[in-house]
């Protein structure tokens, strides 16, 4: 992309900007596939919790614990994917700035980016 003639930051290179965004968006989609698989695996907690609730005749406490465990497990499985999504987004923005200068980047869309932003806002930033 950098070997083309003309100003790379100009509006005429919208196709190159779209290609760069599409490449990184495809990386996010591949990452989301693994995250969705992990969240689906976490759903296996519910039948176990319901079965225990029926067996011990203690529906409310067992189901409450099941819900807490499911939420924690889902968060634990999705958090590394959300961190990776943020790294992909940061890499995209840096690459876009280096190649296209001040031209506005196309935004990348992913539920993992939303999750990472929300986790960062509620839990604070971590460097691990």
* DSSP state string for 80-103: HHHHHHHHHHHHHHHHHHHHHTTS
pLDDT given for residue 14 in this prediction: 87
Q: How far apart are CA 34 and CA 63, in angstroms?
A: 27
Tell me the C-alpha distance between 30 and 40, whole Å: 16
pLDDT in tens, the chain (128 residues): 444 444 444 556 889 999 999 999 999 999 999 899 988 888 888 898 888 888 888 888 888 899 999 999 998 989 999 999 999 999 999 999 999 998 999 999 999 999 888 877 666 655 44
Q: What is the pLDDT at residue 119?
A: 77
- What proportions of the chain, in percent to the nearest 5, are helix, strand and coil? 75, 0, 25
Residue 106 DSSP class: P
Is-contact 115 31, C-beta < 8 A?
A: no
Answer whether 111's CB lies under 8 Å from 27's CB. no
pTM equals 0.73
């Amino acid at each position: 992309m950098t070997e083309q003639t003309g100003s790379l930051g100009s509006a005429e290179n919208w196709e190159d900007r779209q290609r760069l965004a599409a490449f990184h968006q495809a990386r996010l989609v591949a990452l989301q596939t693994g995250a969705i698989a992990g969240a689906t695996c976490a759903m296996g907690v519910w039948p176990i919790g319901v079965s225990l609730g029926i067996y011990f005749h203690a529906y409310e406490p067992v189901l409450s614990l099941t819900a807490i465990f499911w939420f924690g497990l889902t968060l634990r499985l999705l958090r590394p994917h959300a961190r990776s999504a943020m790294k992909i987004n940061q890499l995209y923005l840096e690459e876009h700035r280096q190649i296209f200068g001040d031209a506005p980047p196309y935004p990348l869309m992913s539920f993992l980016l939303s999750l990472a932003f929300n986790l960062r806002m509620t839990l604070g930033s971590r460097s691990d």
